[in-house]
Amino acid sequence: MREIAFRDALREAMSGEMRRDERVFLIGEEVAQYDGAYKVSKGMLEEFVARRVVDTPISESGFAGLSIGAAMMGLRPIVEFMSWSFSLVAADPILNNAAKMLYMSGGQFGCPIVFRGNNGAGGQLGSTHSWCVESLYANVPGLKIIIPSTPYTAKGLLTQAIRDDNPVFCLENERMLALTGDVPEESYTLPIGKAELIRSGNDCTIVSFGRPLYFCLEAAEELAREGIECEIIDGRSIRPLDIDTIAASVCRTNYCVVVDQSWSFASVGSEVAAEVHRVCFDDLDNYVYRVHSDDVPAPYAKGLEQEMLPNARKICEAVRSVTYNA
């Protein structure tokens, strides 16, 4: 098995499905001539030509709506948002058409479409370009949301998303695109809605998604030196949420910390905590602690931005508190 970058794993998933199924195409700003704003689609124009790798104007609502219509008529678009922050101007077609079409048409029209791009802060892009959109969109029935955390999960989850007959949001992170890891050359899929245990421990369960998992692993190493062994769950997908895997861990450790890069109010983290309280109430020895981004717009200044986000220090403090080791 060879080692490749996160961005290359995404490209392999898209290219593999475009070779397998001629209905699949990629559309978005700078995906063709410029090889993608973050070089995720590098070389794809040469292989698949402009009919299937389509550059668009800066008009997210326009090309999102166009792609939703194409999906309704039998194609399988992959829509790249340069940033999920820009998806907000396309919220109407995404939420009122893509998410609801199967229901509103009584099953006559599905919408097999993937929306993907960079999500979250960390790159000093300022508050308007640093949205964490998962908590906004996870509230809407009819959508699936995946957050891959490694090159391996990126390829497997995105491949499955392209094959899915429902709208799927793939939330990536600019700060992870150069991350490398082992990825099989052959095509494979990973199930949407199945979490993974990535570190075993007996003292506390930490649940997270995407980039914050690396802060969780860093915190777990520090806590291990203090004699606190944490179990870490990579949620992989937010909707559907694999509460069974999370609950199985919490019922063993009796403590839980949820780490979510969203703001805390009405967030993915609060939903995970509510579900853990519901399912594991008799096994919990304390309430579920949550670590979120601070409740402010993302600052531009590097030091302030890093302090706003979840980090290893905040996670360690939460674990010590929840396990009565503060």
Answer yes or no: are the C-beta atoms of 122 and 293 closer than 8 Å.
no
Distance CA 270, CA 264 (A): 7
DSSP structural state of residue 317 = H
Q: Write the single-letter amino acid at 114.
A: V
- How far is Cα of residue 270 from the mean position of the Cα atoms in its chain? 17
For 277, the token pair is 């309280």
Q: Which residues 6+ apart lie within 8 Å of 147 measured at CB? A: 119, 134, 170, 171, 209, 210, 235, 236, 237, 238
Answer yes or no: are the C-beta atoms of 178 and 10 closer than 8 Å.
no
Answer yes or no: are the C-beta atoms of 87 and 117 closer than 8 Å.
yes
Whether the bond into 93 is cis, omega within 30 of 0: no
- Active-site residues: which are they? 60, 129
